[in-house]
Chains A and B, each alone.
Chain A
């Protein structure tokens, strides 16, 4: 075959260019540490890599969800633990109060202690996390229980609530006339869980003229004096504090996605922890106890004791639920981290280069490249002209 100068130089150039482009590709790999920078570098690998990075970001997201849910459960749990302590103190006070050796004055002392327990319980039930009420179900901007200041007037003629007092003995339901615009037609909810000691009627004596069922918010009038006062101008004016439970549905579930297709409930509802409206709830129990202490009624204290214990049992049950949810969540977290590690390893294996291997190849290639340039330069140079 005839060999011409153009052939030689173009062959040398083709060889050097091929080496150069391989060097360039390896430089890109070495500089970025990535085995591919565009789909055509490894079509199957890139498709897998995209899937794996999505999967990895999902696992991280599930983990973040669980951490967030965890804090929700932990907050609920520690609130319930405080509630547990409150109820145990209440139980101890009930046992003391039921003991015949205490005097009325001492019981009144105990009453004010229970009063502070009610306050504590209120703040526990209204525990927030980042401004969200944790026991309100999905109504996280609504406090489940509030201490409302109520007023009502009882007169001889029926009022807006249809209440009147003309004969004795008569039992009258208390309405909170300050609260309007709630669920009721005429606007006034009936008051219940009235805090003993906050209801006093001027001119009438508790125990003789009237008795109160604090839990249900009913007053029973027994004397003609009460009828007379009701008939007088202004009637019987009442003021009191009562524990109002939100009328909203507090049973909504708050969920976190923990795995693909799996969600976990991370909230404990007020119903679960403190008892529902139809049950004897924790405030019913405490108010009953207070009523016994307030009226120095040992039988009432006795009967309230079992209510307090029921509330405690209910709370412990909710705590157990929270605990097992936390355990499950932590188990899933561990599993999640293991899976995430696997996915990350797999995607790293795909997209990262083996530095040692590529660097060695690069060295070899560089040697070849330099040799090609040097030899090429020498081959192209000489022609017969140099020697003529």
Chain B
């Protein structure tokens, strides 16, 4: 035991305190670094074996610098991140769809449908008024425009999902490569004693959490502290390196018939497709393949039903010019993106079939006709094609006179009538030879256009607003109006959004609870560090004092001897 040994003890004390102050400084400065775990210096008393006294103190040794973290909490955090990533994306997507529908507002589809039906009612009130006709066409155009907006925006959203999948995949690959690099750094550090790759472990933990929020993963640790990461059984990172994902673009068809690129994931190692089961990627793919198509198909069905039911009724009516069988909507456009007004309607609003026409009995003004050559009947339809379907017993025939003589109807008498075809056969050539001038009076039934004041078909079309046309039950009977079907679709969307928001809130709460837990274990407490600092400062000062004392001892010894 020499004085030099005593000096050694003192210098070890200084070194230990310096090391402690070093770590404290690192802790304090990284107090707000994400993912940083606080470090502590573990000290051990140095001993030597003395032959007389057994163990004797030999100063202090720094054993290691330990990072304080709880592996179980970190694992929980990683699981929650996957949920949170997925739910966050789902919530965002549903919010986007809500924004696309813009309900409840005067710019919503519901309001445009109301205006469309109202326009038909107004047309029924003023069937000949060009303004009312134009208003129906305008309301139709506005409704069609709203459908297009929704259809196009949903299609755009699909494209956005695809481009986001590509972006997120790039992020995943970056993280995979980063983790693989960290793996090798940690393994190298672990070879020596002490295992001092604390900060790299922190960084890798942080990357793992980020990766979890993008895609579902599970991981194992090997003897050298390296992670092996798999997603649904597919190897992403092995101790040897990363196996990045690849985006493969295939072509898909959109609702309006146009082609779009669809991004799918494959493993670069095996070329096998990978379908993420969690995280942001899973939500993006689910939104693209299920959520959006579901709303798209509901909107498309709505458009299709509207087109078909309005057209069916419109075809039965008569336009202002008396034509019938016309469509109001283009029958080819049966999706939200392709719905459109028929070319006839766009060309002229006179083609809107407001009139129902009808079967009506008219009086043919007395005709002045001569008896035709024997054997041929007098054909009233040559005068006017409508002169058929004559009313039973309404045919009155007399000579022109003077004086007019009434002819007798019936078999064996002067004439017989084919009422259905509007033909009259003369049977008494002895008294009434061919060429005899006659006055023929009759009434006839017509089916067809009956004047511009007829708005009855417009009423029938407007009444489609209250007709059960949508949402068939198990037996195929429609249970809801178009407006009702749309309202329940909006309600379902609202419920889904509410549910996703509440799921997200729960997960976010859980996440922040876990973060608190982790922070409690790994976070830096300033007060603690500062108190430690004072302690370390004091022990440094004490060690210094000790060395100075030993130095005095040595001086004494040297001077006295």
- Write the residues of chain A forming the contact surface with B, with a CB cutoff of 8 angstroms: 1-7, 10-11, 14, 36-44, 46-51, 53-54, 57-58, 61-62, 64-65, 68-69, 130, 132, 136-142, 158, 160-165, 170-173, 175, 182-186, 188-190, 247-249, 251-257, 260-261, 263, 267, 277-278, 351, 383-385, 388
Contact = CB atoms under 8 A, between A and B. Distances in A.
A38 B453 contact: no
Interface residues of B, number: 89
Contact of A53 (B114, B122, B454, B527): B114
10 contacts: A4-B525, A40-B495, A57-B115, A137-B450, A158-B437, A165-B402, A171-B402, A173-B401, A184-B368, A249-B450
Contact of A39 (B368, B466, B494, B530): B494
Contacts of B495: 40, 43-44
Contacts of B520: 1-4, 7
Given A54-B114, A186-B369, A257-B124, 17 more contacts: A39-B493, A42-B494, A43-B498, A54-B110, A58-B466, A62-B121, A65-B125, A137-B453, A141-B128, A158-B437, A163-B402, A173-B401, A184-B368, A256-B124, A261-B466, A263-B459, A384-B526
Given A140-B453, A247-B363, A249-B360, A47 B519 contact: no
Interface stretch (B18-26, B96-104, B134-142): B96-104
Contacts of B368: 160-162, 175, 184-186, 188, 190
Contacts of B404: 171, 173
B128 A385 contact: no
Contacts of A50: 103-104, 108, 110, 483, 486-487, 490
Contact of A138 (B403, B454, B463, B497): B454
Contact of B370 (A57, A162, A184, A267): A162
B293 interface: no
Question: Residue among B367, B400, B455, B501 with the most chain A CB within 10 A?
Answer: B400
Nearest to A188: B368
A235 to B, nearest CB: 14
B194 to A, nearest CB: 25
Contacts of B31: 4-6
B121 A65 contact: yes
Contacts, number: 264
A189 B492 contact: no
B124 A54 contact: no
B467 to A, nearest CB: 10
Contacts of B521: 2
B366 A130 contact: no
A57 B360 contact: no
B533 to A, nearest CB: 9
B383 interface: yes
Nearest to A131: B128
B524 interface: yes
Interface in B359-399: 360-370, 383-384
Contacts of A257: 121, 124, 459, 462-463
B64 interface: no
Given A4-B525, A185-B367, A248 B451 contact: yes
A170 B403 contact: yes
A57 B119 CA distance: 11
B125 to A, nearest CB: 4
A170 B402 contact: yes
A193 to B, nearest CB: 13
Interface string B246-276: 0000000000000000000000000000000
A343 to B, nearest CB: 13
A53 B360 contact: no
B451 A140 contact: yes
A5 B526 contact: yes
A255 B124 contact: yes
Given A50-B103, A188-B368, A189-B366, A11 B516 contact: yes
A5 B117 CA distance: 63
Contacts of A57: 114-115, 118
B516 to A, nearest CB: 5
Given A136-B451, A189-B366, A5 B525 contact: yes
A25 to B, nearest CB: 12
Contacts of B124: 65, 255-257
B185 interface: no
Nearest to B517: A1
Contacts of A41: 494
B357 to A, nearest CB: 9
Contacts of B121: 61-62, 64-65, 257
B465 interface: yes
Interface string B499-516: 001000000000010011
Question: Residue among A5, A247, A263, A388 with the most chain B CB within 10 A?
Answer: A5
B287 interface: no
A51 B483 CA distance: 7
Contacts of B369: 185-186
Given A39-B493, A46-B103, A3 B525 contact: yes
Given A6-B32, A171-B401, A46 B104 contact: yes
A388 B103 contact: no
B488 interface: yes
B524 A6 contact: yes
Contacts of A383: 526-527, 530
Question: Residue among B31, B456, B494 with the most chain A CB within 10 A?
Answer: B494
Contacts of B401: 163, 170-173
Given A252-B454, A260-B466, A2 B494 contact: no
B450 A47 contact: no
The 9 closest A-B pairs by CB, nearest first: A162-B437, A39-B494, A140-B453, A43-B494, A47-B491, A4-B523, A139-B451, A40-B497, A170-B402
A247 B103 contact: no
A328 to B, nearest CB: 17
Nearest to A51: B487
Interface in B298-327: none
A258 to B, nearest CB: 10
A385 B529 CA distance: 10
A118 B454 CA distance: 29
A247 B363 CA distance: 7
A64 B132 CA distance: 14
A6 B523 contact: yes
Given A10-B519, A65-B121, A255-B124, A385 B494 contact: no
B527 to A, nearest CB: 4
A167 to B, nearest CB: 8
Nearest to B34: A6
A39 B497 contact: yes
A37 B403 CA distance: 85
Contact of B465 (A58, A69, A136): A58
B103 A38 contact: yes
Interface string B526-558: 111011001000000000000000000000000
Given A4-B523, A65-B125, A136 B453 contact: yes
B113 interface: yes
Given A4-B519, A171-B403, A385 B451 contact: no
Interface in B445-501: 446, 450-456, 459, 462-463, 465-466, 483-484, 486-488, 490-495, 497-498, 501
Contacts of B400: 158, 161-163, 173
Contact of B360 (A3, A141, A161, A251): A251
Contact of B498 (A40, A164, A172, A388): A40
A72 B242 CA distance: 83
